[in-house]
């Protein structure tokens, strides 16, 4: 899973729209996402800052209501990251 996330981040440096289109399908409102989906968002934000700006509104709008659902420490930390 870490390797797949790293591949998405590497491809996202050049093709951010395609990568985000696929990753956002795994990021649904009301359903706590997998740890590596959140980790991929975080790493994409670091590696392609300007490419992620258009997606911030939808990511944060979906993520903020989920914050209360993150009960485990590893999920809390990845939401913060």
Scan for tokens 């959140």, then name that residue. 38
- pTM value is 0.86
Q: Give phi and psi for 22, each to the nearest 5.
A: -75, -40
CA 29 – CA 33 distance, rounded (Å) = 9
Residue 53: how many CB atoms within 10 A of its CB?
11
For residue 72, what pLDDT is reported? 92
Measured CA to CA in angstroms, residue 33 lies from 24, 29, 75 at distances of: 10, 9, 9
Q: What is the DSSP letter of 14?
A: T
Q: What is the mean pLDDT of each run of 10 residues along the chain (81 residues)?
A: 94 94 90 93 94 93 90 91 88
């Amino acid at each position: 899973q870490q390797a797949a996330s790293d591949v998405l981040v590497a491809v996202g440096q050049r093709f951010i729209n395609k990568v985000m289109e696929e990753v956002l399908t795994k990021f649904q409102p009301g359903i706590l996402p997998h740890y590596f989906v959140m980790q991929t968002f975080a790493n994409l934000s670091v590696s392609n800052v300007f490419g992620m700006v258009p997606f911030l509104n939808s990511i944060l709008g979906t993520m903020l209501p989920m914050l209360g659902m993150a009960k485990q420490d590893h999920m809390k930390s990845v939401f913060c990251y």
